[in-house]
Amino acid sequence: MPAHAVLSRIRGSIPAMVTPFADGAVDEEALRAHVEWQIENGSSGLVPVGTTGESPTLSHDEHKRVVEITVAQAKGRVPVIAGAGSNSTTEAIDFARHAERAGADALLVVTPYYNKPTQEGLYQHFKAIDAAVGIPILIYNIPGRSVIDMSVETMARLYELPNIAGVKDATASMVRVSHQRAVLGPDFVQLSGEDSTALGFNAHGGHGCISVTANVAPRLCADFQQASLAGDAATALKLHDRLFPLHQALFVETNPTPAKFALSVLGRMSDEVRLPLVPASPAAREAVRDAMRAAGLINT
């Protein structure tokens, strides 16, 4: 599919997919079912093997298998934006090339964590990945996890390259959305990486959200994004208020632990996570259940 056609579809509610586990292994059946459930309930794209997919604890083979399953199950119905990040440029290129071969529509590449590269290092990292593939790349800027913050000026330099197409912005700064729009223009795809600020993000010119909450409440998140992007502020605010307790509860402990617990409550998959993450505490479980009741996802 031409890059411009892919980019026109990268809008709305796009879940940052959890990776289901069973007895220590990737639960491929549950993963396929999760893809189907997301598409049936209005999600407009899928992001496998990001942070929410526990990519740091997946083996390389598992990482690639999750991408392959997601692409195969989606069957082109929605774009698949495959996580391809690493703090090793060589490793990120390997993931990126594999995702392209597997049929992913685009890539999500996180700023290199732990290494703390300079802005020039960030530029060269993304430039090398850009040169290795021929599909759109979204920059994942998440200073809270990677420690570094890509500047708007560095994004502008990268946007001159053939494949750099947008950003998943997890800075939670509304000013940043407008700054990026002013410098890079309205065609630079801006997706929120923070569910709680998605309402304001879109109001500042954003195009949607790569969402944790959409794992658990795909229809509500899709309806919220549809209303927000259509300019129906009253409906969007009403849905935001309904979802807000869930946005908060899914981060009372480290993501994706609460989301996996919520999905286990819904009978979608096990709540199993991999060390160093541990299952949700009793207090977190109570908070998640309360938020699910508030959103109308469960009755008891």
d(CA 6, CA 229): 18
Residue reference for tokens 């990292």: 125
- Report helix, strand or coil for 71: helix
Active site residue 114: no
Going from the C-alpha of 104 to that of each of 6, 95, 182, 228, 266, the distances in angstroms are 10, 11, 30, 27, 28
Q: Report the alpha-carbon distance of residue 244 to residue 224 in Å, rounded.
A: 11
| Residue 168 bears catalytic tag | yes
Catalytic residue among 140, 159, 238, 260: 140
In angstroms, how far is CA 135 from the centroid of its own chain?
A: 17
Our CA angle for 179, 188, 160, nearest 5°, is 100
Active-site residue, selected from the candidate residues 64, 123, 159, 168: 168
CA distance to 136, 166, 167, 204, per residue, from 156 (Å)? 15, 10, 11, 18
Q: What is the set of active-site residues?
A: 140, 168
